[in-house]
Structure 1
Amino acid sequence: MSQQFVFHDVRTTDLSASRRFYTELFGWAVTDTPAGPMFGDEGGVWGGFTPLPDGDPRRPQWIPYVPVTDVDAAARRAVELGARIVKPRTDLPPGSVVVVEEPGGATLALWQPADRQ
């Protein structure tokens, strides 16, 4: 089974600095949307920025999204394998997501696209 990352969320405490860094380093285009600033290239949008307000306990980091066919089953299996749920299921127009921290401490998002629900 091959699961490739399909989206990337950049959590940042300084949105303008992060935006400038990635656009200047890689030439990514950033588009402001109702869901927040999204980035990508001529191949399309494949990531977004999540600004972390002052006092937010979350740390700045990249969070990769991995597609799954059943987000609830994948979250249960992740917990059975030693992960902990960082953010419970959230349903959005394009799909549903559960954020987990794997046993080694890395964070990833389990992503079920809406067309698989």
Structure 2
Amino acid sequence: MSYRYGHFVWRECTTPSIEKSKAFYGSLVGWTTESMKMPPGAGLDEYVMHKVGDRYQGGFVEMGADAEHPPHWMPYVSVEDVEATAEKAKAAGGTVAVGPMDIGVGIFAVIGDPQGGWITAWHSKEGDGEAVPMEDLGPGAFCWDQLNTTDIQGALDFYTKVFGWSAGEFEGMATFKLGETSIASVHEQQPGAPAAWLSHIIVGNLREARDAAESKGSKILMPEIKVPQVGTFAIIADPVGAVISIFEPELPAS
């Protein structure tokens, strides 16, 4: 088994309707889904995974009617020891909302940072699989994660202590690095909005995908944000209200 400790390895959508979310992302970015029976004690009978081609990259969980949180996407970071990671989070001023919990196929803990952002520490008992180089990712694949926060320096301090990342910089933008590799960016959150992680999905044509998303019931929160030499993305709230980014990479000049 191979592990990619410190890397983002999974993205999960908590939704009031798995069927509605499956239909939306299937039509927008071509995902297919597959259900997996869960072992006793996992808290749910089956888990619905979404994939691009034959590569699993995340899942859908149905929220209860009495859920205290809105629909949302959450990234998972692979760690060697979930319990130790949870303790680091608490020592650094964060909270642990769920877990550490063993669900048979792995162990997880939902961690809140001091600014209110949420992320999952995860250890799979089956390994993380091989990394796909960024240049080989195509439409429908997750390609990047960013933290929108009310305190950039505070967030940098917290996450470097919890996951062993280091603070970096790219084109004036704060980043998290693992070794020499940038794995996420950090941005000032919009005034009045809570801190939150945002995951990016590759699309072939941003404007077409944005228009399609809107026609399928999404709300366009930010229609077009260009990152020089990287690409352009839009932030949307999908039909159930979960916020996600759709991203068109900038192709290198030939």
| Equivalent residues in 2 for 1:87-98, closer than 5 Å | 87-98=98-109
Bigger Cα displacement from structure 2, 52-61 vs 107-116: 107-116
1:44 is the counterpart of 2:55: yes
The share of aligned pairs that are identical, in percent, is 27
Question: Highest CA radius of gyration, 1 or 2?
Answer: 2
Q: Counterpart of 2:72 in structure 1: which amino acid? A: Q
Work out the CA distance in 1 between the residues paired with 2:99 and 2:70. 18
Structure 1 gaps of 5+ residues are: none
- Please say if 1:62 is aligned against 2:80: no
CA distance in 2, matches of 1:49, 1:89: 20
How many residues are aligned here? Answer: 115
Matches within 5 A, 1:1-16: 3-16=6-19
Q: What is the TM-score with the length of structure 2 in the denominator?
A: 0.43
Distance across 2 between alignment mates of 1:107 and 1:46: 19
Deviation at 1:39, TM superposition (A): 0.3
Aligned to 1:79: 90
Mapped to 2, the partners of 1:79 and 1:63 lie a distance apart of: 19
Deviation at 1:115, TM superposition (A): 5.7
Per-residue deviation, 1:43: 4.5
Q: Give the distance between the partners of 2:34 and 2:60, measured in 1 at CA.
A: 10
Q: Which of 1 and 2 has higher RCO (CA within 8 Å, sep 6+)?
A: 1
Answer with 29-38 or 100-109: which moved more: 29-38
* Unmatched runs of 5 consecutive residues or more in structure 2: 38-45, 128-254
| TM-score of the pair, normalised by structure 1 | 0.88
Instruction: Give CA-to-partner distance per residue, 1:28-67, whole Å, 9 cap, x none.
Output: 1111222321101124112110001212223211111101
How big is the alpha-carbon RMSD for the aligned residues of Structure 1 and Structure 2? 1.7
